[in-house]
Structure 1
Amino acid sequence: MPILVLVSLALQVACAVHVVRTRRELYWIWIILIGSFLGVAIYVIANVLPDLRHDPRARKTATKVLDTVAPERRRKQIEQRLELADTVDNRRALAEECLNLADYANAAELYRSILTGINANDAGFSIGLARAQVGLDDFAGAKETVDKLYAANPQLRSNDADLLRARIDEALGDPDVALARYRDLSTSYPGEEARYRYATLLVQRSHFREAREVFNDMLKRAKVSPIYYRRKEARWLDAAKRDLASLGPG
């Protein structure tokens, strides 16, 4: 059977199921069956696309697809907004998008431009700058940024800032301090990154038994976690599974 016929049948069946599930008028099934590709196209344009515009889940999925296909799309939109209105909020949005795209140099420049005046010691902007500096392997600069942040905000409690401090200590050659910070974060950080970094540093320090325990704990937690959490933390969970396997039996 020619491939085009198979494709047509699959589309017709899918649209017919949609007609029944959404309780559309049944004459649409005849249009779909008689019209083949044209009938499917007419049905999608008339019935499916309008529904998608009003479905938050569909819009979210479409946005993710667009971001995957055209990762620069969102940045260009924010840049256009920034050209029209040079505000702190638009600069922040562009800096965050640059971080998402691993454009750390531009992210750092944008955060520095924000960290002035009343925003000079803003925790969110300072953490953003430190993240960009870590992305650039400027750990000395990141340490200066984080130290300044805590000096200006001695009561600050931030898991993100503490994780940055642990990464900075590790990179600057103070693994014992980094290990202690990771250990504390392993029970408080809202995600798997801190636990993964803790386990990998344990491996580097030849604490293999403890590392296995942390990796296993990550994977056990994932099994009972909601699917959205497993998807969000997939990078760290996949790495934990791979690294645990490389350690061999304990």
Structure 2
Amino acid sequence: MSCDMATRQTGVSCRMSPILILSIALQVACCVHVARSGRPWYWMIFLMMFSYLAVLVYVIAAVIPDLRHDPSGQRAMRKVRAQLDPGRGARDANRQLQVADTPENRRRLAEESLRTGDFASAEAAYRGALKGLYADDPDLMLGLAQAQQGLGQPADALQTLQSLRAANPQYRSHQADLLHARVLAETGATEEALQRFDNVSRGYPGEEARVRYGQLLRQGGHTEQAAAQFRESLQRSQTAPGYYKREQKAWLEIAKRELAAIGG
């Protein structure tokens, strides 16, 4: 007997409502968490008996505390908080700086400002931190260069990077190498930028360097070489694990569009 026929005969719908389906899904998810976390079995009985109320209680009593103590959970919660309130980290860092004007607090404010795209505040904070024992700190100098590049000051960023290299000849950073290539391109030193992009893209942990290299090649009329870079990014992603594809999704999409525009 079909569901529609049974409904007409009994007056009761045999289709599960979305609310019931959601309840079952949440209950099952919580039961899986109970089993994986090794919690007492009575949690499962409680979850099966009281539906949404039980799920709410379990999330508050078990899931949230677990997230607070689990490194991956902490990262996820920070990411959610950053999306809901992007400026919170910078405000907290600024309050800490008002309480104690220390190099570490200046560093934190600078990093939070840079993360949220407040490049002017980031530049000021980095300059304030680059004093005394930290006057040649390579991470702070890199942050200053990133803020300068974000402000549309590639020449200043290039000078900062050159000072960084001179003061810290043993310092190695993929981000510094990529930024150096970018500001060279932005200051018109295209040939040197292409050489640096070529070197950086070979060992960069992600697709940004390779895609940016392809874009610069295309701008210079080197379409075949550019297409090769975009293809390599897309081919690498085919055998990459899922987390890598998610992290690099934006750059892979750019590679697809660029390759399509070339006709490759």
Normalising by the smaller structure, the TM-score range is: 0.7 to 0.9
Distance 1:199 1:83, change over 3 A: same
TM-score, normalised with respect to structure 2: 0.81
5 Å-filtered alignment, 1:98-247, equals: 98-153=113-168, 157-247=172-262
Shift of 1:6: 4.0
How far apart, in 1, do the equivalents of 2:186 and 2:193 lie? 9
Aligned to 2:8: none
Cα 1:205–1:119, aligned 2, differ >3 Å: closer, same or farther?
A: same
- In structure 2, the residue matched to 1:45 is 60
Structure 2 Cα separation of the partners of residues 67 and 176 of structure 1: 39
After TM superposition, the structure 1 stretch with the greater mean CA deviation from structure 2, 189-198 or 226-235, is: 226-235
Rounded Cα–Cα distance in structure 2 between residues aligned with 1:153 and 1:59 = 33
Measured after TM superposition, the shift of residue 24 of structure 1 is 4.7
Gaps in structure 1 of 5+ consecutive residues? none
What do residues 149-199 of structure 1 show as CA deviations (whole Å, max 9, x unaligned)?
A: 334445655443332232222112221221122122222333322211111
How much has 1:21 moved relative to structure 2? Answer: 5.2
Cα deviation per residue 1:211-244 (whole Å; 9 max; x = unaligned)? 1111111222223333333333333222112211
One-letter amino acid of the structure 1 residue matched with residue 222 of structure 2: H
After superposition, give the CA deviation of every residue in 1:10-65 in whole Å (9 maximum; x if it has no partner): 33343344445556555444433443333333333344344434333323222222
Distance 1:99 1:30, change over 3 A: same
Matched, 1:89 2:104: yes
Q: Which of residues 1, 6, 11 is equivalent to 2:26? A: 11
Read off the aligned partner of 1:14 and give its amino acid letter. Answer: A
- Count residues in correspondence: 249
**Which whole-Å CA distance do the structure 2 matches of 1:99 and 1:37 have between them?**
41
Bigger Rg, which one = 2
- Equivalent position amino acid for 2:180 in 1: R
For the aligned residue pairs, the C-alpha RMSD in angstroms reads 2.6
Distance of aligned partners of 1:19 and 1:190 in 2 relative to their CA distance in 1, 3 Å threshold: closer
Paired letter, 1:172: T
Post-superposition offset of 1:139: 1.4
Q: Provide TM-score, normalisation by structure 1.
A: 0.85
Give the drift of 1:113: 1.1
For 1:28 and 1:228, the matched residues in 2 are separated by 32
Deviation at 1:148, TM superposition (A): 2.8
| Unaligned residue ranges in structure 2 (runs of 5+) | 1-15
For each residue in 1:72-102, what CA deviation from the matched residue of structure 2 results, as whole angstroms up to 9, or x when unmatched? 2222222232222211111112111111111
Q: State the partner residue of 1:64.
A: 79
Secondary structure at 1:211's aligned position in 2?
helix
TM-superposed deviation, 1:133 = 0.6
Between the aligned residues of both structures, percent identity stands at 45
Within 5 Å, which residues of 2 pair with 1:29-44?
Answer: 29-44=44-59
Query: Residues of 2 paired with 1:94 and 1:214: CA distance?
Result: 37
2:250 maps to amino acid:
R
Report the CA distance shift for 1:120/1:2 in structure 2 as closer, same or farther (over 3 A). same
**Equivalent residue letter for 1:126:** M
Q: Which is further off, 89-98 or 230-239?
A: 230-239
Q: 2:168 & 2:132 partners in 1: Cα distance?
A: 16
Distance 2:68 2:171 in 1: 42
Output aligned runs, 1:18-29, within 5 Å: 18-19=33-34, 22=37, 24-29=39-44
Alignment CA distance shift 1:117-1:36 (3 Å)? closer
Tell me which moved more, 196-205 or 215-224: 215-224
